[in-house]
Amino acid sequence: MKTILNEQYLISPFYVFFLIYSNIIGVGIMGFQRDITKDAGYDAWISIILSGVSIHILVWMIYRIVGITNNDIIHVHQFCFGKWIGGLFNIFVIFYFLVLALIVFLVYIEVVQVWLFPLMKTWQISFILLVLVYYIVSGGFRVITGVCFWGTIIPFVILMPLNFFALEFANLNHLLPFFNHSVKEIVLSSKAMVFQYLGFETLFMFYPFIKNPERSQKWAHFGLLLCVFLYLIVALITFVYFSEGQLPNTIWPTLVHMKVAKFPLIERVEFIVVSIWLLLILPNISVKIWAACRAIKKVINVKQRISLFIVLVLFFIIANVLKERNQIEQLNEKYSNIAFYFVYLYIPFLFLYIHIKHKITK
């Protein structure tokens, strides 16, 4: 059964491009290179492409899943598993989106403290960010979409060219020899890369808010394609700039090689980079929190403004408890394992199950 929404709350299919891009590109692109090269070395560029292709397949599956009921994943779970079992799956979905948003939130606070304001307290940074998130999410989904639009255009135009300054010191020999890693190592690297693509699953929640949603699928794939292209370009620039011995000791390689850019009157380019990155982080966090609050409203019938306030208070508390980098990395590692099984096992399972259920129901 389709959720009937007033047209004033709906968005054009074209904007799905920006929603997908904003949900994928966030803090991960600052340091993903180190994670994917642990197993495959500088052949990890293959992993970026392979994992990207697999995500395209999963996006196609999501469109088929929600297209059958013409509704979000909350209704899909109720349709497939009933009220109670489906409710348990829906609770998992709520925590899934919240933890993903929390990880992005915590990592960006760490980046701000390391690169911009080392003496600034965590509670001060988290409070400012959460006020902005509240303002965006409480404005509704169309406001969030608008922030995603500008959060895609402005950072891409300003930050993307800064990557190419590092090519002045490029050493193409770093990429040689090609294909000197086993299939197993490439697969392990691809698994590490999958975490960087997480966020596309919010499509499960905002699908009913798209006008003529079947026309939006090509824009979702275009947005994902741009993400794959961006990760590939940034990774290759990093590989030719750092040697394989240097990269494991560099926490945020993208920020480091962007520092190469020099401009008159601007001595610390990284200040500009981290500040503009906020335009990427805000929509990234906002969509995931909106998806979780929307799910809470449909599962336990709590108003979104109330659940939003509670969620942001919890984020504030957790941000001031989990301050150490090793704590954030442990949370990141545990979540990435759960997310891997969710996207590669559960989504295909749900894809098959709902088609069988739909045929039997008909």
Q: Supply the pLDDT for residue 307.
A: 93
Domain 7-348, CATH: 1.20.1740.10
pLDDT confidence of residue 52? 94
pLDDT of res. 4 = 59
* pLDDT score at 3: 57
Predicted pLDDT at 178: 83
pLDDT at position 69, please?
A: 85
**Quick one: pLDDT at residue 175?**
83
Where along the chain do its domains lie?
Answer: 7-348
- Three-state DSSP string of the chain: CCCCCCHHHCECHHHHHHHHHHHHCCHHHHCHHHHHHHHHHHHHHHHHHHHHHHHHHHHHHHHHHHHHHCCCHHHHHHHHHHHHHHHHHHHHHHHHHHHHHHHHHHHHHHHHHHHCCCCCCHHHHHHHHHHHHHHHHHCCHHHHHHHHHHHHHHHHHHHHHHHHHHHHHCCHHHHCCCCCCCHHHHHHHHHHHHHHHCCHHHHHHHHHHECCHHHHHHHHHHHHHHHHHHHHHHHHHHHHHCCCCCHHHCCCHHHHHHCCCCECCECCHHHHHHHHHHHHHHHHHHHHHHHHHHHHHHHHCCCHHHHHHHHHHHHHHHHCCCCCHHHHHHHHHHHHHHHHHHHHHHHHHHHHHHHHHHHHHC
Tens of pLDDT, residue by residue, the chain (362 residues): 455 577 788 999 999 999 999 999 988 888 899 889 888 888 899 999 999 999 999 999 999 999 988 888 999 999 888 888 999 999 999 999 999 999 999 999 999 998 888 888 989 999 999 999 999 999 999 999 999 999 999 988 888 888 888 888 888 888 888 888 888 999 999 999 999 999 999 999 999 999 989 899 999 999 999 999 999 999 999 999 988 888 888 888 988 888 888 877 777 788 888 889 999 999 999 999 999 999 999 998 889 999 999 999 999 999 999 878 888 888 888 998 899 999 999 999 999 999 888 888 76
At residue 157, what are phi and psi to the nearest 5 degrees? -65, -35
